[in-house]
Chain A
Amino acid sequence: MNQQATIAVPAPRALLSRGMRETLANYAYLLPVAICLGGTVLFPILKAMHMSLYHNVLIRPQDYRFIGLGNYVRMVEDPTFWLTLKNSFIWVFFSVSLQFLFGFAAALLLNAPFKGRAFFRTINLLPWIIPGVVVALVWEYLYQPNYGPINDILRRVGLMREPVAWLSNVDLAMPAVIFTNIWRGIPFFAIMILAGLQAIPDDIYEAATVDGASVTQRFWHVTLPMLRPIIVVATATRIIWTFNYADLIFVMTSGGPANATQITSTYTLLQAYTDLDFGYAATLSVILLVIMLVFTALYLKLTKGVESVAG
């Protein structure tokens, strides 16, 4: 019997190691998401940065040219920009801090057992559900000095003699729009914090009670620390939204009177859609982005991020 010896031929060596192939496959799965995000988030940001380096006024296409940091220099020298930045910080600080305080109070109330709680939880959401532009139009009407209900009620109950022009007075316009924004934003915090409150296990409160902790002590040492991750995320998100939020002011005052309510985001819109100066508007957008990035990094560092205290 003729036997032939077979020689084992080693399989051709794969071009990539198994680990590398798995890694690449994983990246391939991520590719569609990366393309979508790149196209919808990264590309517009890069495009805005690119536009900010050009003199790009749509009504003067013949003047379109690269000007390097010219728009940034203009921004630094633009007193209206600094005014709008100051207004933005006032707008964000008072809006978010008061939304948070009242939202927290509302959440504590809605967490307590009482008859009709489900109804009030639903009602609480109404200001948040109504579109921003509608809210602005409704409040513009409420504030109207000549035929608005607020002035009318205040005059009828004797708290006011002459009508007050809430949105036309330079000292009152910003507080008035902030008040509207607070009204609109309370439900957001209320619902977020309520969700956090419901996630705190009862046995922690029971243990604290057994240890003799008072209501205040339970609030400071149990409730607040347990809610910290939610509070950090909710406030950070809300600050970013409010900083970029232009609808309310744009509809209610258009940034007036005399720029009293002009915030950087409405000023950016004005530059883009009234002056059609897309180069300068892009510069303002880039600066808004940088401010928000720096703020978010600092905020997360100061508040130690979203890690739970229990962790």
Chain B
Amino acid sequence: MDDRWRFSRRQFLKTMAATGAITASELLWWEEPFLWPKKAHAATTVRFQFSVPEPLRISLVESLVDRFNKSQSDVEVKVEFVPQAQARQKLITAITAKNPPDCCQIWDNWVGEFDGMNVVEDLTARIKDWKHYKDTVPVAWQTVTVKEKILSFPWAVTNDAIFIRVDRAKEYGLKIPGPDWTWDDFVTLAKGYAKPEKNQYGFGMRGAGTWAVLYATEFLYGNGTQVLKDGKVAINSPEAVSAFEWYIDLIRKHKVTPPSVATDGYRQIVEGFGRGVTSMYLHNSGSVEEQKKFVGEPNFATLPLPLGPAKKRATFYFSETLTMFKDAKNKEGAWKFFTWLMDDEPHYHYCKTLGLLPTRQALADQPPYTGPHYSGFVKSFPFSVVSPYLAYAGWGGKLDSEGVPLFQQAMVGKISSKECLDKFAEVLTKNMM
């Protein structure tokens, strides 16, 4: 026999010891096997679609899915990343073709649309028995409740607040207002910040994308506006028109916004602030971590939206949801995956990395959510409401395709604030379905 194949007693004992050590380490890591996941032959697959607005999320979700897969012997999640711009359309075509993924991550404003198509699994019974049900912020449940059915897990929640440059305020001798500031304070501050000759502007208003309409509406609420009143569209009420005139005046009269305002989307308002072009902007907590890198932690803070003439204000909650489809082939696997993601550590890790607010109260009471960069959002909780545009599934796409061009026309002065809101009200009324 070839010497190479001889196995001495010493070698045999060493091999046995090594095998024992590896087995022991595997047992220590029993929740997440150290070397490889031990999948049963019949491990069932869960198809999970994740829409990606930014590359950071890919590695984050991949690591979470990988950890989940390693912790399970009978379920394996396969994640399908789809660019956010195509996610809604891809899901809807997959649903129409009767081949949706088992579950997905989507925004709450799509949940209503999908429920309108009668394709979302009702999770009410399961969720009410879930161990963290009572620890979840009630308003988070509201964002995913349609016709008294809980349709999704609110994975992360956020509202909007004003990002503000603290260092520049000091440089220009401007006083940073308190959380109960007013529209007048806002205009004064924006004017103080505006130095067009230095390519600096007071407020990075959003003019493109659905949120151009939503942010404007949040300001409108400061004057007592409501989108729906007694079941009728009221977005063109006198108080709404007056508030919208004030909002448009920021561009046309006070000139505190950058010249590109009418086409500035998410990326432009975030980068505008990050590059020092603007000194204030309205956004959700999702850009806090980014701004820490762009402008530096000590140089900015967040404030709640200012109080309007009616001494009111509102910010819209929205949540990133985990949603399951009625046609899911592996509902049990998807449920297992959801509850794992909502557990303390994965949930906190996901939200903290992305700067979103956890929906579990116990986690929201921990840093960094208690610090200055999130204070604007946390202090906005008492007047945060679910977006009124979630009321009708038919409004979903129309905000973008008809609402945004109308608001842009008002921004560039092609139509008056009243004409804009009248036409917008017509669009909403026509699509109340």
Q: How far is the CB of B212 from chain A (nearest CB, A)?
A: 10
Contacts of B199 in A (CB 8 A): 146-147, 163
Complex alpha-carbon distance, A142 and B404, angstroms: 24
Q: Which of A60, A145, A147, A270 contacts B259 (CB 8 A)?
A: A145
Q: Which of A61, A162, A257, A273 contacts B408 (CB 8 A)?
A: A257
Q: How far is the CB of B273 from chain A (nearest CB, A)?
A: 11
CB atoms of A167 and B89 under 8 A apart: no
CB atoms of A258 and B262 under 8 A apart: yes
Chain A residue with Cβ nearest B407: A258
CB atoms of A170 and B414 under 8 A apart: yes
Contact with A along B387-403 (1 / 0, CB 8 A): 00000011011101100
Q: Is B116 an interface residue (CB 8 A)?
A: yes
CB atoms of B412 and A258 under 8 A apart: yes
* Contact residues, B204-234 vs A (CB, 8 A): 207-208
CB atoms of B258 and A271 under 8 A apart: no
CB atoms of A146 and B277 under 8 A apart: yes
Q: Is B117 an interface residue (CB 8 A)?
A: yes
Given known A59-B396, A275-B398, contact A145–B258 (CB-CB < 8 A): yes
Most buried by A among B96, B397, B400: B397
Q: Is B361 an interface residue (CB 8 A)?
A: no
Q: Is B375 an interface residue (CB 8 A)?
A: no
Q: Is A236 an interface residue (CB 8 A)?
A: no
Q: Which of B208, B398, B409 contacts A254 (CB 8 A)?
A: B208
Q: How far is the CB of B373 from chain A (nearest CB, A)?
A: 24
CB atoms of B263 and A163 under 8 A apart: no
Q: Which of A59, A144, A167, A256 contacts B393 (CB 8 A)?
A: A59
Complex alpha-carbon distance, A248 and B196, angstroms: 30
Complex alpha-carbon distance, A144 and B117, angstroms: 41
Complex alpha-carbon distance, A271 and B208, angstroms: 17
Q: Is A240 an interface residue (CB 8 A)?
A: no
CB atoms of B260 and A165 under 8 A apart: yes
Q: How far is the CB of A279 from chain B (nearest CB, A)?
A: 13
Q: How far is the CB of B93 from chain A (nearest CB, A)?
A: 7
Complex alpha-carbon distance, A274 and B85, angstroms: 10
Q: How far is the CB of A63 from chain B (nearest CB, A)?
A: 9
CB atoms of B117 and A59 under 8 A apart: yes
Complex alpha-carbon distance, A273 and B93, angstroms: 10
Complex alpha-carbon distance, A146 and B113, angstroms: 37
Q: Is B405 an interface residue (CB 8 A)?
A: yes
Q: How far is the CB of A197 from chain B (nearest CB, A)?
A: 41
Complex alpha-carbon distance, A258 and B407, angstroms: 8
Complex alpha-carbon distance, A8 and B400, angstroms: 85
Q: Is B354 an interface residue (CB 8 A)?
A: no
CB atoms of B261 and A168 under 8 A apart: yes
Question: Chain B: how many interface residues by the 8 Å CB criterion?
Answer: 40
Contacts of A164 in B (CB 8 A): 259
Q: Is A217 an interface residue (CB 8 A)?
A: no
* Contact residues, A147-196 vs B (CB, 8 A): 147, 162-165, 167-170, 173
Contact with A along B107-120 (1 / 0, CB 8 A): 00000011011100
CB atoms of B116 and A144 under 8 A apart: no
Q: How far is the CB of B420 from chain A (nearest CB, A)?
A: 10
Q: Which of B196, B401, B404, B406 contacts A275 (CB 8 A)?
A: B401
* Contact residues, A44-59 vs B (CB, 8 A): 58-59
Contacts of A253 in B (CB 8 A): 263
Chain A residue with Cβ nearest B420: A258
CB atoms of B401 and A168 under 8 A apart: no
Given known A162-B259, A256-B262, contact A59–B412 (CB-CB < 8 A): no
Contact with A along B229-272 (1 / 0, CB 8 A): 00000000000000000000000000000111111100000001
Contacts of B404 in A (CB 8 A): 256
Given known A59-B116, A276-B89, A276-B397, contact A168–B405 (CB-CB < 8 A): no
Q: Is A259 an interface residue (CB 8 A)?
A: yes
Complex alpha-carbon distance, A254 and B266, angstroms: 14
Q: How far is the CB of A200 from chain B (nearest CB, A)?
A: 47
Q: How far is the CB of A259 from chain B (nearest CB, A)?
A: 5
* Contact residues, B393-433 vs A (CB, 8 A): 393-394, 396-398, 400-401, 404-406, 408-409, 411-412, 414, 433
Given known A59-B92, A59-B397, A254-B208, contact A146–B414 (CB-CB < 8 A): no
CB atoms of B117 and A60 under 8 A apart: yes
Q: Is B38 an interface residue (CB 8 A)?
A: no
Q: Which of B116, B275, B405, B406 contacts A60 (CB 8 A)?
A: B116
Given known A59-B393, A168-B207, A273-B89, contact A258–B117 (CB-CB < 8 A): no
Contacts of B89 in A (CB 8 A): 273, 276
Complex alpha-carbon distance, A7 and B285, angstroms: 102
Q: Which of A62, A167, A168, A258 contacts B409 (CB 8 A)?
A: A258
Q: Which of B258, B262, B394 contacts A257 (CB 8 A)?
A: B262
Q: How far is the CB of B357 from chain A (nearest CB, A)?
A: 28
CB atoms of A167 and B93 under 8 A apart: no
Contact with A along B271-309 (1 / 0, CB 8 A): 010010100000000000000000000000000000000
Complex alpha-carbon distance, A80 and B118, angstroms: 32
CB atoms of B208 and A256 under 8 A apart: yes
CB atoms of A276 and B92 under 8 A apart: yes
Q: How far is the CB of A139 from chain B (nearest CB, A)?
A: 13
Q: How far is the CB of B396 from chain A (nearest CB, A)?
A: 7
Q: Which of B86, B196, B393 contacts A162 (CB 8 A)?
A: B196
Contacts of A271 in B (CB 8 A): 401
Q: How far is the CB of B415 from chain A (nearest CB, A)?
A: 8
Complex alpha-carbon distance, A262 and B401, angstroms: 11
Contacts of A170 in B (CB 8 A): 262, 412, 414
Q: How far is the CB of A112 from chain B (nearest CB, A)?
A: 42
Name A's B-contacting residues (CB within 8 A).
Answer: 58-62, 80, 144-147, 162-165, 167-170, 173, 253-259, 262, 270-271, 273-276
Which 8 residue pairs are nearest across A and B when measured between Cβ atoms?
A: A257-B262, A165-B259, A258-B409, A258-B408, A275-B397, A146-B277, A168-B263, A168-B262
